[in-house]
């Protein structure tokens, strides 16, 4: 692989590229699902190819191929140069790249059990068992389970001398029980909605989640929601569970800090950003207890945004995004760093595959834990609503006004959870919401949640991101029901 990558760089330089990088990627994936006790999906695929990015006459060019021969990669590099020269004819200014050292390194994400070494029969048996436990619950209409596994091996070479080999193993699992009664639909998911929990781990993650043990409760809660009271409409105190708060971070902090959105260079799929450059170091994003970081380092946790080097060969870093409530940082790359006064990229360039151009993506965007115990937080709440597990979300194309609904809610009165609530939702304005946060639970309740399906770009790239969060409390929030009684 190194010979092929090096050959593509040689061709690019011979054709006048001032900078070039090449990325060979070998991707393996396995997807298994069940539905109502039957196997739904049983798919396994593999892909390998090279993407070559070049800088010629101050403009970018990119090309890719799965023809991994000397002639194939040479033609790919030549095509990238040709595209760059064409792009230079319409450029508004020359690309300026922040300096970066050359690295020669190899990195393997840690895991205990290779999910691709576990027989399919064993994995399907686990899913069917969990599916069966949910179907035992009277009133459950639809049961679904899933397993997802990814192996991503990459060889990155650049004209400054970097040679970086990385191998990442990703696992994910989840289940959902849905109950139909009349025109009403209720559902409960575990360990999270929209595919469950995903992490930079091996099959041990699936074993830790223990789907079958939680399946009965998931089914029972889905059915019980039909008899629960509607969530009241009011302005009041809201406690968000960690998984829902993770999605809140993703939508109202993660996307708006992507610097290409801020600069108007990227608006596909998720829009632009309200965080214009004048807000850096001036905007009060949240209360003083709100601290958010973008951290791709393994020491932060085995998140979907964890790696050793990004796809420009920049080492993983921790960047302050919100510090003591103040807005402090963006997600940048080597091209945009100087536009916000940085001398170095924050290391957030990532690509879905060998045939896609790297773009700025979230790493692990996490809310640092506070000091509260969850029981104490509830006991300290006189009148409030606890919401958990996302059901739907909506946010404007500048990531400023939002509405979320969750699968389940709990009414809190005089410091106690008194009854289950159905169809809970809340809405707000990003900065007002984060400035209403007055309590965050401690590290004991903190989880690095995985979001495997973040879309961005055109053609769209689907990327995994991580969001660490523990339950937190917000005051004076607009609370309402997502669905009215019929």
pLDDT digits (tens, 9 = 90+) for 332-345: 999 999 999 999 99
In a shared domain, residues 311 and 424: yes
**402 located within any domain:** yes
Residues 190 and 256 in one domain: no
Q: How far apart are CA 398 and CA 273, in angstroms?
A: 4
Residue 270's pLDDT band (cuts 50, 70, 90): confident
Question: Within 320-479, where are the H helices?
Answer: 374-379, 430-434
pLDDT digit string (tens) for 419-443? 999 999 999 999 999 999 999 999 9
**pLDDT tens digits, residue range 156-207?**
999 999 999 999 999 999 999 999 999 999 999 999 999 999 999 999 999 9
Number of domains present in the structure of the chain:
2
* Residue 298 sits in the same domain as residue 177: no
Enumerate helices (H) and strands (E) in the chain, giving the number of each: 9, 24
Question: Last residue of a domain, which of 166, 194, 227?
Answer: 227
Confidence of residue 271 (pLDDT cuts 50, 70, 90): confident
Note whether residue 112 is domain-resident: yes
Q: Judge whether residue 387 has pLDDT over 50.
A: yes
276-313 per-position pLDDT tens digit: 999 999 999 999 999 999 999 999 999 999 999 999 99
In three-state form (DSSP H/G/I as H, E/B as E, the rest C), the secondary structure along 269-297 is CCCCCCCCHHHCCCCECCCCCCCEEEECC
CA 409 from centroid of its chain's CA atoms: 24
The pLDDT > 90 percentage for the chain reads: 96
Give 86's contacts (C-beta < 8 A, 6+ positions apart).
Answer: 61
Name the pairing type of β-strands 104-108 and 163-181.
parallel
Shared domain for 362 and 432, answered yes or no, is yes
Is residue 313 situated within a structural domain?
yes
Q: Is residue 83, in this structure, part of any structural domain at all?
A: yes
Residue 110 belongs to domain with CATH number: 3.30.2290.10
pLDDT band at 486 (very low <50, low <70, confident <90, very high): very low
Q: How many CA atoms lie within 13 A of 445 on its CB side?
A: 23
Total Cβ atoms within 10 A of residue 147: 26
Structural domain boundaries, residue 397: 229-481
Residues with Cβ within 8 Å of residue 227, at least 6 apart in sequence: none
Judgement on whether residues 346 and 369 belong to the same structural domain of the protein: yes
- Give residue-wise pLDDT tens across range 180-190: 999 999 999 99
User: Are residue 67 and residue 106 in the same domain, yes or no?
Assistant: yes
Q: How far is Cα 339 from Cα 331, in angstroms, rounded to an integer? A: 12
| 130 and 254 part of one domain | no
Based on the fold, state whether residues 252 and 211 are members of the same structural domain: no
* pLDDT at residue 64 in the model: 98
Tell me how far the alpha carbon of residue 377 is from its chain's centroid: 27
Task: In whole angstroms, give the CA distance from residue 239 to residue 221.
Answer: 19
| CB of 162 closer than 8 Å to CB of 104 | yes
Q: State the average pLDDT for the chain.
A: 96
The answer on 358 and 215 residing in a single domain is no
- What is the tens place of the pLDDT at every residue in 86-121? 999 999 999 999 999 999 999 999 999 999 999 999
Token reading at 337: 């760093």
**Which pairing describes strands 229-230 and 416-422: parallel, antiparallel, or unpaired?**
parallel
Same domain for 121 and 234? no
User: What residues form DSSP beta bridges with 327?
Assistant: 322
Domain boundary among 165, 195, 227: 227
Question: Among the three residues 209, 227, 245, which one is the final residue of a domain in this structure?
Answer: 227
Judge if 53 and 107 occupy the same domain. yes
| SS3 of residue 376 by DSSP | helix
Cβ neighbour number for residue 2 with a 10 Å cutoff: 12
Is the same domain home to 436 and 458? yes
Residue carrying structure tokens 């599916």: 131
- Evaluate whether residue 486 is within a structural domain: no
Question: What are the structure tokens assigned to 314, written together?
Answer: 């920049």
How far apart are the C-alpha atoms of 341 and 93, rounded to whole Å?
Answer: 18
């Amino acid at each position: 692989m190194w010979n092929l990558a090096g050959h593509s760089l040689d061709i690019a330089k011979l054709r006048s590229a001032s900078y070039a990088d090449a990325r060979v990627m070998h991707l393996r994936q396995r997807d298994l699902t069940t539905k109502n006790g039957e196997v739904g999906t049983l798919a396994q695929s593999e892909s390998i190819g090279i993407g070559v990015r070049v800088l010629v006459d101050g403009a970018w060019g990119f090309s890719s191929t799965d023809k991994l021969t000397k002639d194939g990669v040479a033609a790919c590099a030549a095509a990238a140069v040709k595209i760059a020269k064409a792009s230079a004819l319409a450029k508004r200014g020359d690309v300026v790249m922040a300096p970066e050292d050359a690295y020669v390194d190899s990195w393997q994400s840690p895991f205990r059990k290779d999910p691709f070494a576990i027989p399919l029969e064993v994995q399907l048996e686990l899913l069917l068992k969990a599916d069966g436990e949910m179907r035992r619950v009277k009133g459950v209409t639809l049961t679904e389970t899933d397993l997802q596994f990814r192996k991503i091996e990459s060889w990155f070479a650049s004209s400054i001398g970097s040679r970086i080999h990385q191998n990442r193993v990703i696992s994910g699992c989840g289940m959902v029980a849905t109950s139909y009664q009349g025109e009403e639909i209720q559902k409960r998911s575990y360990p999270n909605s929209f595919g469950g929990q995903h992490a930079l781990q091996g099959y041990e993650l699936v074993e830790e989640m223990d789907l079958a043990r939680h399946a009965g409760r998931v089914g029972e809660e889905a059915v019980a929601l039909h008899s629960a009271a509607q969530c009241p409409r009011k302005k009041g105190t809201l406690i968000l569970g960690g998984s829902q708060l993770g999605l809140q971070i993703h939508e109202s902090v993660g996307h708006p800090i992507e610097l290409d959105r801020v600069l108007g260079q990227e608006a596909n799929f998720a829009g632009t950003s309200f965080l214009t450059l004048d807000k850096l170091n001036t905007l009060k994003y949240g209360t003083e207890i709100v601290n958010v970081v973008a951290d791709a380092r393994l020491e932060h946790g085995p998140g979907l945004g964890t790696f050793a080097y990004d796809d420009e060969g920049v080492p993983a870093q921790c960047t302050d995004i919100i510090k003591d409530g103040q807005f402090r940082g963006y997600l940048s790359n080597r091209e945009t760093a100087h536009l916000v006064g940085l001398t170095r990229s924050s290391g957030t360039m990532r690509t879905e595959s060998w045939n896609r151009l790297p773009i700025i993506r979230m790493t692990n965007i996490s809310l640092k834990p506070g000091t509260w115990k969850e029981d104490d937080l509830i006991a300290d709440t006189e009148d409030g609503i606890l919401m958990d597990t996302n059901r739907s979300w909506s946010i404007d194309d500048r990531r400023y006004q939002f509405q979320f609904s969750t699968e389940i809610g709990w009414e809190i009165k005089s410091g106690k959870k008194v009854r289950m609530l159905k169809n809970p939702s809340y809405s707000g304005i990003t900065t007002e919401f984060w400035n209403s946060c007055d309590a965050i639970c401690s590290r004991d309740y903190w989880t690095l949640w995985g979001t495997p399906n973040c879309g961005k770009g055109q053609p769209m790239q689907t990327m995994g991101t991580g969001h660490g969060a523990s339950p937190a409390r917000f005051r004076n929030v607009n609370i309402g029901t997502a669905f009215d009684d019929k």
